[in-house]
Chain A
C-alpha cells in the first residue's frame, strides 16, 4: 500500500526527478511556456490554463479517491497543505496580482526558461527577489503568517459534505466551466477577428 517512499529517501528523490521531468514535459507541451497564452485566461482569448488545470485536478482527485477505495494508497498518510486562513488568502491574492503582471507562475516559468524564453528567466529572477524580500522582513509578519492554523482540513469537511458528493459536484462544475469557456473563447476570437 502506498505511499511507497518517504519524500526524503534516495528513491523518493529519484522519483521526484522523474516526476519533475514528466511535469515539465507536459507543461511545455500544453503551451504553458508562453506567457501570452497563459494570460489569455484573464482576457477570454485562451483558456488553456483553466482547461489543463481543472482537468488535472479532477483526474487526480478522482484517481486518489479510487486508489484509496482499492486500498492502494493510504490517503491519511499523504501530505495535505495546512490551511492558515489569513496567510493563505493574502498569499493567493498577491500571487494573482503577480500572475497578471508577470504572466507566469513558478512551474511554468521554469519550463519556459528551459526553452529560451527571456521573460521567463526574468520572472524567475524576480521570483527570487520576492523570496528574499519575504525573508528579509519576516519578523514583521511572522505572527500573521502563523496565525489561524486550521490544520490539514479538507474542503468537504469545511462544507459539511460527503467526500464523494463533493467530488461529483466538483467534476460537474469543472465540465460546465470547460463548456462555458469554450463558448466565451469562440465569441472573443470572433470579435477580435472583425477588427
Chain B
C-alpha cells in the first residue's frame, strides 16, 4: 500500500516538474535573438526555388485583381518612370536599406509584413534576386521574385509566340492565356526595356549532401 503511495507521489512530482518548466518558459521574457537569418539557412533557401513566380502567374494575379498581391519594382526611378507594371511600387535596389532619422528601415512597412505577397521584379532576374537575398537576410517574409523579369514579361505576356502545331494541348492553353493577357495589358504598344541584366542567372550548385535530403532516420 505504502509502495503505491510512493509511486503516486513520484508521479505528482513529475507532473509538477514538467508543467512547471513549461509554464516557466511561457512566463520568461522572450529572448530578443538577432532576427537575421543564418548564412547556412540563407544558402539553403537560395537553392530551393520556391521564391520564384512565373510571369504567367503574375499576369493572372494582376488580371484577377488579387488584393493581397503587390508588385515591387527594384529598378531605378528613371526606368520605373519609363515603364512599369500596373500598380507596382518603386523601391530601387540601392535605396532598399535606407533608414529614417530614428534608424529604422523606411521600407520595412512594405517589405516586412504578413498580409501581402510582394513580388519583386527588375528587367531580368538578377537585381530582383539580389533584393530578395537582402530581404531574406533581414528575415523578412512573403517576398517573391518574378522569374525572368520584365524581359520575360514582354516575351511571354505581351508578345506571346504561337507554339508549333505539334505542341501539346497544355502549351496551347498557356498560349491562349497569354494571348488574352496580352490584350488585357495592351500588347505590343510598350517599349521594350533595355536589357540590363539579361545575362543568364548563374546556377548555384546544390549542396552535395545526402544528409540534407534524408534527415534523421
Chain A residues at the B interface, C-beta cutoff of 8 Å: 7-8, 58, 62, 65-66, 68-69, 74, 76-77, 79, 81-82, 106, 149, 151, 162, 164-165, 167-168, 170-172, 174-175, 178
6 additional A-B residue pairs with CB within 8 Å, beyond A76-B38, A79-B215, A79-B216: A79-B211, A149-B48, A168-B19, A168-B22, A172-B19, A175-B15
A–B pairs, 11, beta carbons within 8 Å: A8-B211, A62-B18, A62-B25, A76-B38, A76-B41, A77-B38, A79-B215, A162-B26, A164-B25, A167-B26, A170-B22
Known: A76-B38, A81-B215. A167 touches B22 (CB 8 A): yes
Q: How far is the CA of A58 from the CA of B18 in the complex (A)?
A: 8
Q: How far is the CA of A165 from the CA of B28 in the complex (A)?
A: 12
Chain B residues at the A interface, C-beta cutoff of 8 Å: 11, 15, 18-19, 21-23, 25-26, 28, 31, 38, 40-41, 48, 50, 211, 215-217
Q: Which of A8, A79, A171 contacts B18 (CB 8 A)?
A: A171
Q: How far is the CA of A96 from the CA of B50 in the complex (A)?
A: 32
Nearest-neighbour CB distance to chain A for B163, whole angstroms, equals 24
Instruction: List B contacts of A74 (CB < 8 A).
Output: 38
Q: Is the interface of B mostly helix, strand, loop or mixed?
A: helix
| A66 engages B25 (CB within 8 Å) | yes
Instruction: List B contacts of A68 (CB < 8 A).
Output: 31
- How many residue pairs between the two chains, A and B, have CB atoms under 8 Å in the bound complex? 55
Instruction: List B contacts of A168 (CB < 8 A).
Output: 19, 22-23, 25-26
Nearest-neighbour CB distance to chain B for A110, whole angstroms, equals 12
Chain B: which residue is nearest A81 at the CB level?
B215
| B31 engages A69 (CB within 8 Å) | yes
Nearest-neighbour CB distance to chain A for B15, whole angstroms, equals 5
For the complex of A and B, the 9 pairs showing the least CB-CB separation, nearest first, are: A168-B22, A171-B22, A164-B25, A164-B26, A81-B215, A171-B18, A175-B15, A62-B21, A167-B22
Nearest-neighbour CB distance to chain A for B172, whole angstroms, equals 23
Q: Which of A66, A76, A151, A165 contacts B26 (CB 8 A)?
A: A165
| B211 engages A175 (CB within 8 Å) | no
| A62 engages B22 (CB within 8 Å) | yes
Nearest-neighbour CB distance to chain A for B217, whole angstroms, equals 8
Chain A: which residue is nearest B30 at the CB level?
A164
Nearest-neighbour CB distance to chain A for B135, whole angstroms, equals 17
| A7 engages B25 (CB within 8 Å) | no
| B25 engages A69 (CB within 8 Å) | yes
